[in-house]
Every structure is written in structure tokens, then in C-alpha cells.
């Protein structure tokens, strides 16, 4: 019997998740299908219940439904509770819905894949929305010396820093509060989609520092285009996408797929699409 999985979003046509999970399933010989499902903006819970009624076993959840997914779960992982968001849904044997978030694991594993050091390093995180909230716990578990969160609305960054202060040294504020240099700067905003570069100082990066954008594309994002001439080594979020998907796959199937070949395939697909 073939098990059904999907990704819910709105919009969703652009999603690379079906390609990723098709490759994982082929690689591990798992009997499953994975589709992209457009859910109504005000009707996510109904879409999930209909999918389960038709035999669905689990799903990924992307924008704008991670909060809705969090709200409908019967049981939540510890990390989902901290993030207050869910990107992975699992139907239990009793029919109850279990929710987890794999975004932070995806980020940390991608950084590890590229040998980006985090322990004892200064980290700047740009943004204070759901994307950032979802990665803070795994990021802090890597024991950076301190993490600074900055946002256009300083109060949001301060509140987020306070919410996770028990896990490490955290500070929050507006862009005008950025002081000193950093070893890793993570853009957790969607600004790159609109061509928006945060107002940050030019001397932001320590020698050998990395700039990481959670967004990705066939060309470097505008944030990475800004960071490169200022001395940073560059990474986009494509690897994070693959790694978070691999963790979801493991939660569903209890088998861990190899991510390196899927990274290569996905990068090639982006380059082909841009030609």
C-alpha cells in the first residue's frame, strides 16, 4: 500500500518539496506519494482533515499555515512548543495529529554540512518573525557566544530575545543597535524576495565570517549580493530546505535519506529554470 504525504501552502505551485521527497522515497525505496496541496487561506484545518480522511499519513506545512498547524495539533514536540509553529504533521495510530518543526534542525545541519562554526561565535539574526522563532532553539543548542536579534520593529526583537533567554546569551533591538562584528549573520526575513536589504553597517563581518540567507534562488539573493563585497562567505537557504525535509521524512518513515545528491539535483533544477 502506498502512503500519502503532501505539503500545504498558499501559494504552493512553486514548491520544491514534491521533488525532494520523490527523490528521498526513490533513494530509500519507500512506498509513498507526495503532492503539493493548495489550501484556502481561511481553511487550512478543513484541508488537513479532508486529507487525513482520504488516507493521508502526514504533511509538511509552509507559508502561511505554520501557526494554523500548531493550533490544530493534539500533541506537540518540545521544539514546536518553543517555536509556536509546526511545519511537520504526523497522523498517529490513534488518528490524533502530532506536530513538530524541523526548520531549525534544517538550518543547523546545513551550516554543519558547509563546516560553518557556531560554537563560541557571535551570531546576528535579522528578523523576528516565525522563520526566526523556528530556528532559535536548535541554533542556541550549538552554544554560540551570543546571539543578537535585530528587526525593523525593535520591540519584536526584544520580546523574542526575552522568550529564549533561558537557552543562551541573547539580545534584541532595532537595526540602529547593531554593534561590533559577527562571525555569522543570518537573514531570516523575506526581504530578499522584494529586493530589500536591511540597513546594516558595512563593517559587520569578522574575518572569515559567513552570511546566510534563508531565501534561495538561481542567483545570489540581494542580501548575499550586499554581504559578498563586505568580506563574507555566502550561503543561501537551499540546503536548509533539503535538510528540514530530510528530518520530516525521518519522522514519517523512520529512515534517514542522504541529502547530498538531492542538494545537487535541486541546485541543477534552479539553474536550468533560470536559463
Active site residues: 66
Q: Is 216 annotated as a binding residue?
A: yes
Give the rounded distance of the alpha carbon of 177 from its chain centre: 26
Residue 83 and residue 77: Cα distance in Å, rounded? 10
According to the annotation, is 153 in a ligand binding site? yes
Does 87 appear as a known binding residue?
Answer: yes
Q: Is 75 annotated as a binding residue?
A: no
Strand order in the sheet with 182-187: 170-173, 146-150, 122-126, 182-187, 205-213, 233-235
- The reply, when asked if residue 244 is annotated as ligand binding, is yes
* Residue 98 labelled as part of a binding site: no
Grid coordinates given for 45: 484545518
Q: Is the dihedral of CA 42, 45, 47, 50 positive or negative?
A: negative
Cell numbers placing 164:
529564549
Q: Is 81 annotated as a binding residue?
A: no
Q: Is 237 annotated as a binding residue?
A: yes
* DSSP at 191: G
174 known ligand binder: no
Contact predicate 211/236, CB 8 Å = no
84 is in an annotated binding site: no
Say if CB 239 and CB 212 are below 8 A apart. no
Task: For residue 190, give every residue at least 6 positions away whose Cβ sits within 8 Å of its Cβ, in sequence order, or none.
Answer: 131, 215
Q: Is 128 annotated as a binding residue?
A: yes
* Residue ranges of the binding site: 15-17, 62, 87, 103, 127-131, 151-156, 214, 216, 237, 244
* Residue ranges of the binding site for shikimate: 15-17, 62, 87, 103, 216, 244
* Residue ranges of the binding site for NADP(+): 127-131, 151-156, 214, 237
Amino acid at each position: 500500500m502506498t502512503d500519502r504525504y503532501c505539503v500545504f501552502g498558499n501559494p504552493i505551485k512553486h514548491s520544491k518539496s514534491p521533488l525532494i521527497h520523490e527523490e528521498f522515497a526513490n533513494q530509500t525505496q519507500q512506498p509513498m506519494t507526495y503532492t503539493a496541496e493548495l489550501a484556502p487561506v481561511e481553511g487550512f484545518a478543513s484541508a488537513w482533515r479532508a486529507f487525513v480522511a482520504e488516507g493521508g499519513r502526514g504533511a509538511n506545512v509552509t507559508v502561511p499555515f505554520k501557526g494554523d498547524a500548531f493550533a490544530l495539533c493534539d500533541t506537540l514536540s518540545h521544539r514546536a512548543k518553543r517555536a509556536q509553529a509546526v511545519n511537520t504533521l504526523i497522523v498517529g495510530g490513534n488518528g490524533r495529529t502530532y506536530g513538530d518543526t524541523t526548520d531549525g534542525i534544517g538550518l543547523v545541519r546545513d551550516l554543519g554540512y558547509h563546516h560553518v562554526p557556531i560554537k563560541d561565535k557571535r551570531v546576528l539574526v535579522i528578523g523576528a518573525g516565525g522563520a526566526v522563532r523556528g530556528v532559535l532553539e536548535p541554533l542556541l543548542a550549538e552554544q554560540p557566544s551570543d546571539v543578537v536579534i535585530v528587526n525593523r520593529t525593535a520591540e519584536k526583537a526584544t520580546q523574542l530575545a526575552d522568550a529564549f533567554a533561558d537557552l543562551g546569551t541573547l539580545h534584541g533591538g532595532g537595526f540602529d543597535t547593531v554593534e561590533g562584528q559577527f562571525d555569522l549573520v543570518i537573514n531570516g526575513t523575506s526581504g530578499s524576495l522584494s529586493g530589500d536589504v536591511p540597513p546594516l553597517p558595512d563593517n559587520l563581518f569578522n574575518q572569515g565570517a559567513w552570511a546566510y540567507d534563508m531565501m534561495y534562488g538561481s542567483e545570489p539573493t540581494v542580501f548575499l549580493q550586499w554581504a559578498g563585497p563586505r568580506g563574507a562567505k555566502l550561503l543561501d537557504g537551499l540546503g536548509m530546505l533539503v535538510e528540514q525535509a530530510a528530518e520530516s521524512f525521518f519522522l514519517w518513515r523512520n529512515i534517514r535519506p542522504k541529502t547530498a545528491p538531492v542538494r545537487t539535483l535541486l541546485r541543477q533544477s534552479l539553474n536550468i529554470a533560470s536559463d
